[in-house]
Structure formats: structure tokens, C-alpha cells
């Protein structure tokens, strides 16, 4: 048994024992299982083991594969703006300078 199997078994034993104690189940209050029921339990445990092994195998394979490209990764890069040549005046310098505003005053009628 590997260390992981030992830890899993001891953890499951602890959880089962705790559940039995919680509900007041003791060995003297248990009923016996028939041979058929025992075989069903064994088959169930084996089936669960196979499912867990398959799940762990898939998970380990996914970790080894590089992550799939996201939608953002698949989009083409946006076009880059070209810088204006140095000889061309910028938009701000092409506009005429603002003239000073005149203040309008109202004549006072005396």
C-alpha cells in the first residue's frame, strides 16, 4: 500500500467510526449480512475504487497538459496606430490660437 492509500483508508475508517458513534451504532447492535449482501458491498467498493482511479488518472492527465487557449488568446492583435511623421503638424498646432475674449459691458443709464 502506498502512503496515499494508507492515509485514505485511515481517514475513511475515522469518518465511518465517527458516524457510527454519532448514531449510536455498536458491534453488539449490528445485524449480520447474508453472503449475497456481503458480495454486493464488495462489488460496490471495487466499483467505487475503479471510478476514483479513473477520476484521478484524468485529473493527472489534465495537469500535465498545457492549459487550453482562452478566447482572448485566440483573438488577433488589434492593429497598431502609426505615428505621424515629424514634419506633419499635430492637430493641436494646426488650429488657430484662440483670441482673447472681449468683455461685453452694459451701459448704465443714469
What is the residue extent of each domain of the chain?
Answer: 1-30, 33-64
Confidence of residue 5 (pLDDT cuts 50, 70, 90): confident
Q: What are phi and psi of 26, to 5 degrees?
A: -125, 170
- Rounded to the nearest integer, the mean pLDDT of the chain is 77
Of 49, 63, 44, the closest CA to residue 4 belongs to 49
Q: CA angle 24-27-30, nearest 5°? A: 80
The verdict on pTM exceeding 0.85 is no
Give the pLDDT of residue 83.
Answer: 65
Amino acid at each position: 500500500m502506498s502512503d496515499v492509500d494508507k492515509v485514505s483508508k485511515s481517514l475513511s475508517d475515522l469518518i465511518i467510526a465517527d458516524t457510527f458513534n454519532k448514531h449510536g451504532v455498536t458491534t453488539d447492535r449490528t445485524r449480520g449480512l447474508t453472503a449475497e449482501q456481503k458480495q454486493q458491498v464488495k462489488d460496490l467498493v471495487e466499483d467505487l475504487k475503479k471510478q476514483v482511479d479513473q477520476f484521478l488518472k484524468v485529473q493527472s492527465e489534465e495537469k500535465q497538459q498545457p492549459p487550453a487557449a482562452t478566447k482572448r488568446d485566440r483573438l488577433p492583435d488589434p492593429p497598431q496606430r502609426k505615428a505621424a511623421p515629424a514634419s506633419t503638424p499635430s492637430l493641436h498646432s494646426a488650429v488657430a490660437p484662440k483670441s482673447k475674449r472681449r468683455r461685453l459691458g452694459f451701459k448704465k443709464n443714469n
